[in-house]
Structure 1
């Protein structure tokens, strides 16, 4: 089973999205607005990538940043179920403090926001 991994850095005005394949190879990096058209663009790009790369599973991880990601997580789940119901989709909303503590244990990792194109 081939998986697409999607990381979403949630913020007030826009979200930064990173797409990677199961081996960790970068497939795309882009920003979308924090609104419904932005979420629809995210969905379209994910679906296009799964078709182009013949992937049958998507794992989405996003930090729980206040209430900014809550609507996005629910909207994504509803839309993926409607667009491609046979696509195995898992959305994980992660505790930001736990993510920060985990990253401290790996001090050799680059700070993702500094290394991502704006």
Structure 2
């Protein structure tokens, strides 16, 4: 019995971890695919895996930009509030330094995510 959905998921997983088209064809044959279907299915699943990886990388790029914006707002707001607190309320400085730290952390995470997504897109081309 050929389990198409399972074989599709397994093929995409194999391509994701770097297996060759020949190994995916062997897996499809073991799962019960017809010998004349194995090669076209392997190529179809390879294209699907590339499409999914490209979409994930694009989504990661979009998220990285959003995180950079949010991080900048937190960092800027934290700095502004810290300056105000130093002038007016010297007892609440720790809270505002926490906001600065959160903002800087989000900016760093967005930069790392952007680099990773751009690298993935370059590899897929």
TM over 0.5: no
Larger radius of gyration: 2
Q: TM-score, normalised by structure 2?
A: 0.25
Q: TM-score, normalised by structure 1?
A: 0.26
Would you tell me which structure has more helix in proportion to its own residues? 2
